[in-house]
Structure 1
Amino acid sequence: MTKIRVTQVKSKIRRPQNQKRTLDALGLRKMNQVVEHEATPSIIGMVNTVKHLVSVEEIK
């Protein structure tokens, strides 16, 4: 399975509670923090929920 690198590029201040919780579930707590996850359907769905707050790269 492929891996993805998710970087938080915008703040979660003044965002709905579900988006804040999604960022926390992804492991993103601070600006410019980077986490790596397996590209499972549940992770992809979480990334799509906050796609305007994060940047995503595929890792080979």
Structure 2
Amino acid sequence: MKVTLLRSTAGRLKSHRACVMGLGLRRIGHVVEVQDTPSIRGMINRIHYLLKVEGA
């Protein structure tokens, strides 16, 4: 599935920034292709307000 970072991580919780880094996202508008696994889903659910998810 494709994950896009839509909002900045500035001022966010350290754990939320770690989830963004764990997904491989670096900047606003960056798109990464990730596998649909429970651990990835957990990261996406935690920071859903920063992301757009396609193909889920």
Q: Where on the TM-score scale, by shorter chain, does this alignment land: which range?
A: over 0.9
2:52 matched residue in structure 1: 55
Please give the alpha-carbon distance, in whole angstroms, between the structure 2 residues aligned to 1:42 and 1:30: 22
Point out the structure with the larger helix share: 2
Q: 1:1-60 alignment to 2 at 5 Å?
A: 4-58=1-55
For structure 1, list consecutive stretches of 5 or more residues without a partner in the other structure: none
Structure having the higher strand fraction is 1
Q: Percent identity?
A: 38
Structure number with greater Rg is 1
TM norm structure 2: 0.95
Q: Which runs of 5+ in 2 are unaligned?
A: none
RMSD: 1.0
Q: Quick one: which amino acid aligns to residue 31 of structure 1?
A: I
| TM-score, normalisation: structure 1 | 0.89
Q: Segments of 4+ in structure 1 off by > 2 A?
A: none
